[in-house]
Structure 1
C-alpha cells in the first residue's frame, strides 16, 4: 500500500489554488466583453422584433382603415336573475 507524499499533496494544493486564481483573473477580463456582446445581441433581437411588429401593425391598420369600426357585440344573456331572501 502506497502512502501519499507530503510534497505531492502540497503540489496538488498549489495547482488547485493556481487554477482558481487564473480563472478569477480571466473571468475579470473576459466577463465584461461577454456581457457587452450579450447586450448587443439582445438589443439587435429587440430591434428586429419591434420592426417586424411595426410592419405587421402598419399592414393591419391599412386593411382596417377601409372598413368601419364596429362596436363589439353585446354578450348574450343566459337565464334570468333570481334574488333570494333569507327566511327566519
Structure 2
C-alpha cells in the first residue's frame, strides 16, 4: 500500500509541476526578457555617454588605447621535426 501511495504522490506532484509550469513559464520569460532588455539598454547608454565624452577624432586618425604585453618567445622549447605524408 505504501508503494502505491508513493507512486501516486510522485505522479500528482509531476502533473502539478507541469500545470504550474505552463501557467508561470510565460510570466517568468517576460520578466527575464524585460531584465535583459534593461541591461542591454543600460550598457548601450553607458557606451553612448562614453563616446560623447571623448573628443571627436579626425577621419583616418589612429589611436592605441592599450599596448599589448610582449612575451619573449622561448627558443629552447624543442626540436622542429619535418613530417612527410605516407600513402
Q: Gapped runs of 5+ residues in structure 1?
A: 1-6, 73-88
Question: When the two structures are aligned, how many residues end up with a matched partner?
Answer: 62
Q: How many angstroms does 1:64 deviate by?
A: 3.9
Q: TM-score if structure 1 supplies the norm length? A: 0.63
**Structure-to-structure mapping, 1:4-83, within 5 angstroms:** 7-60=1-54, 63-64=55-56, 71-72=61-62
CA distance in 1, matches of 2:33, 2:25: 12
Q: Gapped runs of 5+ residues in structure 2?
A: 63-87
Q: How many angstroms does 1:8 deviate by?
A: 1.3
- Which ranges of 4 or more aligned residues in structure 1 deviate by more than 4 Å? 68-72
CA distance in 2, matches of 1:49, 1:71: 26
* Greater helix proportion: 1
